[in-house]
Structure 1
Amino acid sequence: MHRSPLRPLAGLLLAALLALPALALPGAAAADEPTPAPAGRALPNNAGLGERISVYLSGWAPGTQLQAALCGDNAIGGSRACHLPSAVTGTTDPEGALTLQLVLDRPPRPCPCVVHVAPFSGQGTPIDIPVNVVGVRIGTPPAPTVTEPAALRLEGLRVEGGASLLRAFGLGGDARLVLTVANDGGEAGALPGLRYGFGAAAAASTLTDPGIVVPAGESREVVLEAPVPVAAIGAQRASVGWGDGSGLLVDAELTTYPWATLALLVSVPCAAWLITRARRRAAAAAPPAAPTPSAYPLPDVVYVEGLGGLLVNPDSLRTSRTLRRVAGRVTGDDLARLAAGGRVDRSP
């Protein structure tokens, strides 16, 4: 009987097809597993004031920054029931786990007490880990209230910057607009876009998105950088409002004057005038310069009685046209002729 060469190949293919479901089962089972919820435990869960406990956390997203604080009243009422000065923070590892060391300080509200763990950014669901704190009285926690949505409001605005060398010369510079935003609601709220402006007649036109989350019942500061206009003089107004144009508009002022430029405009002419005046006074007080002695102190022509004739200065022959014409010899007749307006010329 002839055996087909394709039969072994078909058998191998059938075995591979039968093995595929078995290989896919682990992956499918892993895909069906739910994402673990954030959880935590405190050891020891019974400790006194001033003692240190370890808080073990798991099930968080990798790289999440968490804050743990001891709270009274089962953390009902938010951060007002927690001892925030002793709160500790940390970042989860790639497995979503974190261990924190928390010192137990007296919370502002009585027990029952919990370790309240929440993402530091305000986004995410917090968890509460019950602990028994020896030395803290036990009271009756308030009844949980219906959580109100976030209610953000612009609480205040101030302008920082102080004295600036650039503004002193009228060259502008930068100002820091520090905006305080409060959340009067019961849930954390993300700060929406803001519009702000700065100048002599500022209009809130520059749009920015700070990307800040304000926890319930708390406030946050937002710092905005604004350029100071060149040659700004007097009060410069800063204004901030919601990005959509709604909400309360808050404003503040920064007074600036280019004092250095004004000082230069006054001091430079004054300095030039004082220097010129000092030079003139120095020149007036200086003694007159002595006359420079001449190699030939005699005049150009001198009558010498002993010689019975005129003595001519040789240097004058280079400067006097008349003496050049008489060849340096002047007689009495020559003088008479010259006095009568005539001319004497012996030049060759």
Structure 2
Amino acid sequence: MGGKMRTAALGAVLALVLVPLAGATWAFPASAAGRPSVTLSKSEAGAGGSVTVTGSGWRPGVLLMMLVCGQSVPSRGVIGGTNSCANADGRAVTTDAKGGFSKNLPVAEPPKPCPCVVHVAAVTGEKAEADAIFMVAGHSVEPLPKEEGGGRLSVLTDTRLDGSSGLLTWFGSPPSRTLVLTVGNVGTAPVKNPVFEVGTSHGVFAPQWEEQQWRGSVAPGRKALIRLPVELSAGAHGDYTVSLKYGGKVLAEQPWGVGRPWGVTVFWILLCVVVPAAVFRVGMAVVDRVRPRGPAGRTGRHRGLRLTELTLRLPRTGPTPRTPADASASPAPALPWFTPDNDPGTAVNGQLSAPQENGPTTQTRKGPT
């Protein structure tokens, strides 16, 4: 009996000790896995001053952007997106190996009136952001716009771009993808046929927004898979960013690297080679057609020597035959150095001509011994 009482007492003691430990054990992961947060060295400063922003709970090695934004509170985020922030005076910072950072941020007046916040958002990797209340001294203060009741959509998963480039895109056809994301209704009323704004930006240029309506309904507390087509202009290439906006707030951003349409370059290279060659061939054909032709039907360029011309050009070794026309004509005076060779013993102007060296062999006239 005494043993049972001791066992019961020991169990009660263990229960009293383990229950607080169990509560502490459940609370510890929640605090360690807390969401990203930021703190400020001071809650108010005037334009031209600076404030030190310290963050913790971020992913290691993530690039962050710090901005002073107006018309915003931490509970509702940045109303109107980055259009409410002093973008020109923002600062970038990279988290350390423990997911923390500390950097000075210059204070500038945002384009919207206060209440203001220091907004910190991840530029690379998964979407993450945090806000801290901040007052810009001397800046106007106006009440926030009334929050509309009903359904509100929030992105639950990372966005992605589905699709690939085809052969036509390689030749300059407009690149196209499908923006896929999962949204949830965190409001109290269903959202029917929501109208999203899809924007594409290149480099430092502002996004070009286009409204797209998604057909369907999202009940409160439910989620839905959204697919929206995205298309760029013909011949687009380089680094682009696809943004999704709903209710005046940017819900997601997705980078998109578009390859250069090398098929267009190859086409122009071939065109610069083929067209001059074709023009040259056409020009040569025209020149060959309009060039005057010889009596044999060939042009002077390709005309060969005829047999009669070859005969006339050969050296003569005998007397030139005389024709009746030559007999009637008066004899032309003969020049000694142009006189044609004659046979040995033939008299020319009353004198005997010397025999040719390459002519027929003749016997030398012997004189009296």
Q: TM-score, normalised by structure 2?
A: 0.47
Q: TM-score, normalised by structure 1?
A: 0.49
